[in-house]
Chains A and B, each alone.
Chain A
Amino acid sequence: MMPQFSEDSIKKVHEMMSHYPPGKHKSALLGVLHLAQEEFGGWLDVPVMDYVAGLLKIEPIEVYEVASFYSMYNLKPVGKYLFEVCQTGPCMLNGSDDIIAYIKEKLGIGVGETTADGLFTLKTVECLGACGYAPMMQQGKHYREHLTKEKVDAIIAEYRAKAN
């Protein structure tokens, strides 16, 4: 089935397109892809990208090349909650290696994998600009900072409770 944005999202798409000069609506592509990823299950399937191309009246390849370039777009399915843990220098100095190992152990998955119940996906990312609050991870729209094993436990419990 062809994906279809909600009425509200369509409004947002038109609002985004209005930010750019006439004929330059391709500029809205990054924003529309964020919206699509939120609305269509946390990742960008080919039919979704084709749908976005149609909305913006651009070629599908123009969408594919953008979607594959930026690290925030997921081109494969992800769990309901995506943990994106920073592993670059400043986070490493503050123990991000241990945090990543702990999350792996706790969830029983490797980096890039999703738990069997489809709840959690673990991804490592490069510097998210939270170096003073390391170690940290991004979950959805927000940062979870100053991570410790106890904090990781609490975060996982929080999302498990949310999912039930």
Chain B
Amino acid sequence: MEGIRYFDTYRREGGYRSVEKALKMAPADIVEEVKKSGLRGRGGAGFPTGMKWSFLAKPEGVPRYLVCNADESEPGTFKDRYLMEFIPHILIEGMIVASFALGSNVSYIYIRGEYAWIVDILEQAIAEAKQKGFLGKNILGSGFDCEIYVHRGAGAYICGEETALLESLEGKRGNPRIKPPFPAVKGLYDCPTVVNNVETLAAVVPIINEGGEEYAKIGVGKSTGTKLISACGNINKPGVYEIDMTISVEEFIYSDEYCGGIPKGRKLKACIPGGSSVPILPANLLLTTAKGEKRIMNYESLSDGGFATGTMMGSGGFIVLDDSQCVVRHTYTLARFYRHESCGQCSPCREGTGWMEKILLNIENGKGKMSDIDLLWDIQRKIEGNTICPLGDAAAWPVAAAIRHFRDEFEWHVKNPEECLKTNYGLAHYADPIHVPVSA
């Protein structure tokens, strides 16, 4: 909508009503509404937001902080960018309500350094809100004071992990902290802190306006409300879509309302539906679960079958591969990404990500051995669960899933070292019956 980036239009369209309503409520009741809404963290982990808020420690005389995680860096994910760039006030509005509910008088937006121009957009929105009395001292005469500041990162995927983010906010390297203590007890400057994703905080606005129960009516089961999906890769209409988590994956990919199908008459080969860390699925398992049910775009359905035959909702970074793409090469670029982004604290991740990258590049370049495939499997298993933060898992899962579902394509590279440089394996696997190795 024209002008929705600016306060006046946003306000005219009903913006900031939730702040007016929330400031008359008891903070605990706001937390209760969010609990009732069933809202789950939209950054990737899907943890219930209301529960996260209720864990916040409230010792006397110690400041509490709300920090917005706008470090969006998971490959395939660009939804928060869209929200902040075009509707910045919805984030500011959600943050004011959340700050009041949590008792944070100074809240921060930690934004990835590359989104440099969005920093200006957010700062302008904050200045407008402050000028209109929605931020600053004694907001709307309620006695509640709140400031929001934008803190710009400088290029580090790891700072999306909440404790690394807090380190970075303190002006340090983004090395994740050992948990416990969790940020709810010891977060920013050792004070109780809640870290929430941009989309999560924006969702607080309709929850307060309509009430938690109304919000929970949208969607299905434990996937309540709407979710932003950033769709990319080989599709006709890449972009950010808001879905209500009841539509099928098939409809999402092929409907003109969403991705609009696969370009150039090509066929769907595979998809990573929740950001690069979540398991890749071949077309057959993507569209239909192993039980033979239509797969739906929500938390439960996408993870149906566990990692053996399912995947995850993750951040909603939806990456589509057509039949001209090479799964080995794609997995290699992801492995290179994780090697580049490993903070280096834990040896399994620091060393393992580099080994996986090198082995994958060898296989891709026709220099791989059959035993390399098992070696890759072995390395990823030794990374998973053996690191301080989830980056280790995030690096292991894409490699594991690629081998689990596309082992034939890896073997084809090894057996055809010259041909694999000239052509791609194509769609052969798509036609295969569902096959899950015992090791999965």
Chain A residues with a Cβ under 8 A of chain B = 19, 21, 24, 26-31, 33-34, 56, 58, 62, 65-66, 69-73, 87-90, 92-94, 125-134, 138, 140-142
Q: Are B170 and A27 closer than 8 Å at their CB atoms?
A: yes
Q: Are A72 and B154 in contact (CB under 8 A)?
A: yes
Q: Is the CB of A34 within 8 A of B113?
A: yes
Query: A72 to chain B: which residues have CB within 8 Å?
Result: 113-114, 154-155
Give 18 A-B pairs besides A87-B336, A126-B337 with Cβ atoms closer than 8 angstroms. A19-B149, A21-B63, A27-B169, A66-B154, A66-B173, A70-B153, A70-B156, A71-B155, A72-B114, A92-B333, A93-B325, A125-B155, A126-B336, A127-B157, A129-B78, A130-B81, A131-B238, A132-B239
Q: Is B152 among interface residues, defined by CB-CB distance under 8 A?
A: yes
The interface residues of chain B lying within 8 Å CB-to-CB of A130 are: 78, 81
Contact partner of A129 (CB less than 8 A), chosen from B73, B106, B154, B334, is B73
Contact partner of B151 (CB less than 8 A), chosen from A30, A66, A125, A126, is A30
Which chain B residues border A125 with CB–CB below 8 Å?
155
Q: Which 3 A-B pairs have the closest CB atoms?
A: A70-B154, A71-B155, A72-B155
Contact A88 B168, beta carbon cutoff 8 Å: no
| Cβ-defined contact, A89 with B333, below 8 A | yes
Residues of B within 8 A of A34 (CB): 113, 152, 154
Once the chains bind, are A131 and B319 in contact (CB under 8 Å)?
A: yes
The answer to whether B340 and A28 have CB atoms under 8 Å apart is no
- Interface pair B78/A94, CB less than 8 Å apart: no
B334 contacts A73, C-beta separation under 8 Å: no
Alpha-carbon gap, A140 to B115, bound state (A):
11
Q: What residue of chain B has the Cβ atom nearest to residue A56's Cβ?
A: B171
Q: A131-B232, A134-B232 are in contact. Are A93 and B154 (CB under 8 A)?
A: no
Q: For B337, what are the chain A residues with a Cβ–Cβ distance below 8 Å?
A: 88-89, 126-127
Tell me, in angstroms, the Cα distance from A132 to B80 when the chains sit together: 13
Interface residue from B154, B276, B336 paired with A30 (Cβ < 8 Å) = B154
Complex partner residue of A70 from B72, B155, B276, B334, CB under 8 angstroms: B155
Contact (Cβ within 8 A) B173 A69: yes
Indicate whether B329 reaches chain A with its CB closer than 8 angstroms. yes
**Residues in A whose Cβ lies below 8 Å from that of B156:** 69-71
Q: Is B317 an interface residue (CB 8 A)?
A: yes
B174 touches A69 (CB 8 A): yes
CB contacts (< 8 Å) of A31 on chain B: these are 151-152
Contacts of B173 in A (CB 8 A): 65-66, 69
Q: Are A90 and B154 in contact (CB under 8 A)?
A: no
**Chain A residues near B336 (CB, 8 Å)?**
87-88, 126
How far is it, in angstroms, between the C-alpha of A162 and the C-alpha of B232 when the chains are bound? 33
The residue of chain B having its C-beta at the shortest distance from the C-beta of A65 within the complex is: B173
Q: How distant is B320 from chain A, measured CB to nearest CB, in Å?
A: 8
A33 to B113 CA separation, bound complex (whole angstroms): 11
Q: Is B231 an interface residue (CB 8 A)?
A: yes
Determine whether the beta carbon of A90 is less than 8 Å from that of B75: yes
**Chain A residues within 8 Å of B234, by CB:** 93-94
Q: Say how far B109's CB is from chain A's closest CB, in angstroms.
A: 11
CB-based contact B73/A127 at 8 Å: yes
Assembled-state Cα–Cα distance A19/B155 (Å): 21
Task: Give the complex CA separation of A138 and B155 in angstroms.
Answer: 12
**Distance in angstroms between the alpha carbons of A89 and B154 in the assembled complex:** 21
Asked if B77 lies at the interface with its beta carbon under 8 angstroms from chain A, I say: yes
Asked whether any CB of chain A lies closer than 8 Å to the CB of B321, the reply is yes
A72 to chain B, nearest CB (A): 4
**Hey, which chain B residues are within 8 Å of A90, CB to CB?**
75-76, 232-233, 319
How many Å lie between the Cα of A12 and that of B37 in the bound state?
41
Which residues of chain B are within 8 angstroms of A65 by Cβ–Cβ distance? 172-173
B313: Cβ under 8 A from any A Cβ: no
B267-295: CB near A (< 8 Å → 1, else 0) gives 00000100010000000000000000000
CA distance A87 to B233 in the complex (A): 13
Q: What residue in chain B is nearest A69 (Cβ atoms)?
A: B173
Q: List 12 A-B contacts (CB under 8 A).
A: A21-B189, A56-B171, A69-B156, A88-B337, A90-B76, A90-B232, A126-B336, A127-B76, A130-B81, A132-B232, A132-B239, A142-B117
Complex Cα distance A73/B173, Å?
13
Contact A141 B171 (CB under 8 A): no
Residues of B within 8 A of A89 (CB): 75-76, 272, 276, 319, 330, 333-334, 337
Whether the pair A87, B333 counts as a contact (CB closer than 8 A) is: yes
Smallest CB gap from B82: residue in A: A132
Nearest-CB residue, chain B, relative to A31: B152
Cα–Cα distance between A126 and B112 once the two chains are bound (Å) = 13
Q: Which B residues are CB-close (under 8 A) to A127?
A: 73-76, 157, 276, 337
Q: What separation, in Å, do the CA atoms of A62 and B156 have in the docked complex?
A: 17
Q: Which residue of B lies closest to A37 (CB)?
A: B154
Contacts of B330 in A (CB 8 A): 89, 92-93
Q: Which residues of A contact B321 (CB under 8 A)?
A: 93
